[in-house]
Amino acid sequence: MSDKILLVNGRRVQNDRLTRCELLIDDGKIAAIGEQVTGGEGVHRVDLHGNLVTPGLVDVHVHLREPGFTNKETIATGSAAAVHGGFTTIAAMANLNPTCDTPARFADQVERNKRAGQVKIIQYSPVTVGRKGKQAVDVEQQYQAGARLFSDDGAGIQDAGVVYDAMKQLAKRNLPLCDHAQDDQLSMGGVINAGPVAAKFSLPGMPAISETAQIARNLVIAQATGAHYHVCHVSTKESIDLIRHAKQMGVNVTCEVTPHHLLLADTDIAKDDAEFKMNPPLRRRIDQEACLVGLLDGTIDCIATDHAPHTDKEKQQGFLKSPNGIVGSETAFALLYTRFVKAKIFTLQQLVDWLSVKPQQIFNLPNVGLLRVGDPADIAVFDLAQPTKIKVDQFFSKGHNSPFVGDVVYGSTSRTYVDGRLVYSKEN
Which residues neighbour 121 within 8 Å (Cβ) at sequence distance 6 or greater? 64, 75, 79, 89, 90, 91, 92, 113, 114
Q: Which stretch binds Zn ion (CB under 5 A): 100-108, 113-121, 150-158, 185-193?
A: 150-158
The single residue of 101, 153, 306, 378 carrying the catalytic annotation is 306
- 256 part of the interface to Zn ion, by CB under 5 A: no
x/- mask, Zn ion, residues 106-125, rule CB under 5 A, reads --------------------
In the complex, least distance from residue 428 CB atom to Zn ion, rounded to whole angstroms: 36
Nearer to Zn ion by C-beta: 103 or 190? 190
- 152 part of the interface to Zn ion, by CB under 5 A: no
What DSSP designation does 337 have?
I
In the complex, least distance from residue 33 CB atom to Zn ion, rounded to whole angstroms: 36
The amino acid sitting at 309 is P
Nearer to Zn ion by C-beta: 77 or 305? 305
Q: Which stretch binds Zn ion (CB under 5 A): 41-49, 152-160, 248-256, 294-302?
A: 152-160
Nearer to Zn ion by C-beta: 180 or 237? 180
Enumerate long-range contacts of 243-249, CB under 8 Å, 24 or more apart.
Answer: 243/215, 243/219, 243/294, 243/299, 243/300, 244/294, 244/297, 244/299, 246/219, 246/222, 247/299, 249/223
For helices 75-84 and 103-116, give the axis angle rounded to 10 degrees.
60
Dihedral sign of CA atoms 284, 286, 292, 294 in order: negative
- Site size toward Zn ion, by CB under 5 A: 2
In the complex, least distance from residue 232 CB atom to Zn ion, rounded to whole angstroms: 5
CA angle 49/50/51 to nearest 5° reads 95
Q: Which stretch binds Zn ion (CB under 5 A): 3-11, 176-184, 362-370, 395-403?
A: 176-184
In the complex, least distance from residue 325 CB atom to Zn ion, rounded to whole angstroms: 8
Q: Which stretch binds Zn ion (CB under 5 A): 10-18, 42-50, 174-182, 198-206?
A: 174-182
Burial environment of residue 47 by CB neighbours within 10 A (0 to 12, 13 to 18, 19 or more)? exposed
Q: Which residues of 180-207 are buried (b: 16+ CB within 10 A; e: fewer)?
A: bbbbeebbeebbbbbbebbeebebebbb
Q: Which stretch binds Zn ion (CB under 5 A): 151-159, 161-169, 319-327, 343-351?
A: 151-159
Nearer to Zn ion by C-beta: 180 or 283? 180
Nearer to Zn ion by C-beta: 180 or 358? 180
Q: Which stretch binds Zn ion (CB under 5 A): 3-11, 177-185, 217-225, 360-368?
A: 177-185
In the complex, least distance from residue 178 CB atom to Zn ion, rounded to whole angstroms: 9
Nearer to Zn ion by C-beta: 30 or 94? 94
Which residues neighbour 302 within 8 Å (Cβ) at sequence distance 6 or greater? 60, 254, 256, 354, 355, 358, 359, 362
Nearer to Zn ion by C-beta: 103 or 176? 176
- In whole angstroms, give the CA distance from residue 244 to residue 301: 11
Residue 260 is inside which H or E element, if any? helix 259-263
Reading phi first (left if > 0) and then psi (alpha if -120 to 50, else beta), residue 378 is in beta
How many C-beta atoms surround the C-beta of residue 20 within 10 A?
13
CA separation (Å) from 89 to 85, 264, 345, 394? 11, 26, 26, 21
Q: Which of 22, 26, 59, 153 binds Zn ion (CB under 5 A)?
A: 153
In the complex, least distance from residue 133 CB atom to Zn ion, rounded to whole angstroms: 14
Nearer to Zn ion by C-beta: 63 or 244? 63
Contact yes or no for 243/216 (Cβ under 8 A): no
In the complex, least distance from residue 24 CB atom to Zn ion, rounded to whole angstroms: 40
In the complex, least distance from residue 421 CB atom to Zn ion, rounded to whole angstroms: 31
Chain residue whose CB lies nearest Zn ion: 180
How many C-beta atoms surround the C-beta of residue 84 within 10 A?
21
306 is catalytic: yes
Q: Which of 63, 72, 105, 180 binds Zn ion (CB under 5 A)?
A: 180
Catalytic residues: 306
Contacts with Zn ion by CB under 5 A lie at 153, 180
